[in-house]
Amino acid sequence: MVLVTGCNSLVGSTLIRRLLAEGSDIRAIDTWKKKSMPEGIDFLEGTVLNEELLMSATEGIQTIYHLQDIDSPVHAGRRYMKKMNVKGTENVLKAAKENGVEKIIFLSSAEVYGNRKTMLINENDPCRPTIPYGKDKLKAEKLCKKGIENGLDITIFRPTIVAGPGIDDPLILVILYMAMAMGDANRLYIAGDGDTRFQLVHPDDVVTAMLNCRKIEQSRGKIYNLGSDDVPTQMEQIIKVKELARLDCQIKHLSASLTKFLSIVLKPFKINYLRKEHVLFMLSNFVLDCDRAKKELNWQPLKNNIDIFLETIEWYQKEKL
């Protein structure tokens, strides 16, 4: 039996679907049960902060996929966010150790790298996170490394922005909203000159890497970047998406200074768009080197940025408009 924490997330929902398809018995934890949750899942309502729940949930488990986290302090507050991300991971590792779990797969984030100047970022590059989520994930990774030293079999994944149908990331959703739902005022916005590149990754590709690593002894104690191939510039991307999705919208530029200014101005209002991490991706080149995952896990991303946007637009038009 496997345990999935944070089963309601985009990656969690995809993972459960794939695990069911291969015939796995699944136990899942999250704060509420989705109506779309498939039959046959042993669902437990709660969080990884509940140590008693975790001790019970990890009994008889061979593999844990630890996905539950909070990526922004906007709704829950910074203190609770940090507790969930760091203390929650510590609780998972403790319960896994006591109940003899064979494998733990931890979903970290590329946010641990911070604002890097290099185009391709690999797993050996120094981590200097600049936002709370990245700082929490790095602390959680350090707990995982201690767990590895104490005999736990843990593999860590650092995906870039995970995007696809069902996404709730405000950066992607607002882009789509502006392009398709504002009548004559439809616009696609580009930050700066549009010559920067930001990398996406599809949830199916993330899940494939996580499933592959179970069978590969070499993945024990390793960290893997996950991101799409063939990352275009913002301008190239937006022109191609507009053409292929047949979007009737204008392309508008936001200067780098205006983008940063709006991020600061909107912060006190707790508007979940143009947060610091959004500005990082929009104004910087942020592309991961994923060769380690490709070589060691026999992994290859099947969807690139354009594919991901087109698939998400199709879902958005069907489900949101």
Nearest to 104 by CA among 153, 50, 34, 55: 153
Nearest to 70 by CA among 146, 153, 131, 3: 131
Per-residue pLDDT of the chain (321 residues; tens, 9 = 90+): 999 999 999 999 999 999 999 999 999 999 999 888 999 999 999 999 999 999 999 999 999 999 999 998 877 899 999 999 999 999 999 999 999 999 999 999 999 999 877 779 999 999 999 899 999 999 999 999 999 999 999 999 999 989 998 887 655 655 555 454 444 456 666 666 788 888 999 999 999 999 999 989 999 999 999 999 999 988 888 888 888 888 777 776 665 554 554 444 445 444 444 555 555 556 678 899 999 999 999 999 999 999 998 898 888 888 765
Give, as one character, the DSSP assignment of residue 307.
H
- Alpha carbon distance 171, 42 (integer Å): 33
With tokens 């403790």, the residue in question is 94
Phi, psi torsion values for 9, nearest 5 degrees: -70, 170
Q: How many Å is the Cα radius of gyration of the chain?
A: 19
Q: Flag whether 273 is in a domain.
A: no
Nearest to 103 by CA among 240, 229, 211: 211
Nearest to 12 by CA among 80, 87, 75, 68: 68
Q: Flag whether 261 is in a domain.
A: no
- pLDDT tens digits, one per residue of 129-143: 989 999 999 999 999
Q: Flag whether 300 is in a domain.
A: no
Can you give the pLDDT at residue 269? 41
DSSP letters of 151-198?
A: T--EEEEEESEE-STT---HHHHHHHHHHHSSGGG-EEEEETTS---B
Q: Flag whether 287 is in a domain.
A: no
Q: Flag whether 126 is in a domain.
A: yes
Q: Flag whether 206 is in a domain.
A: yes
Burial class (CB in 10 A: 0-12, 13-18, 19+), 2: buried
Can you give the pLDDT at residue 320? 61
Q: Flag whether 135 is in a domain.
A: yes
Nearest to 65 by CA among 127, 112, 18, 98: 18
Q: Flag whether 304 is in a domain.
A: no
Q: CATH number of the domain that 116 lies in?
A: 3.40.50.720
Domain of 119, in residue numbers? 2-162+201-227
Can you give the pLDDT at residue 198? 86
Cβ atoms of 65 and 21 closer than 8 Å: no
Burial class (CB in 10 A: 0-12, 13-18, 19+), 294: middle
Q: What is the number of structural domains in the chain?
A: 1
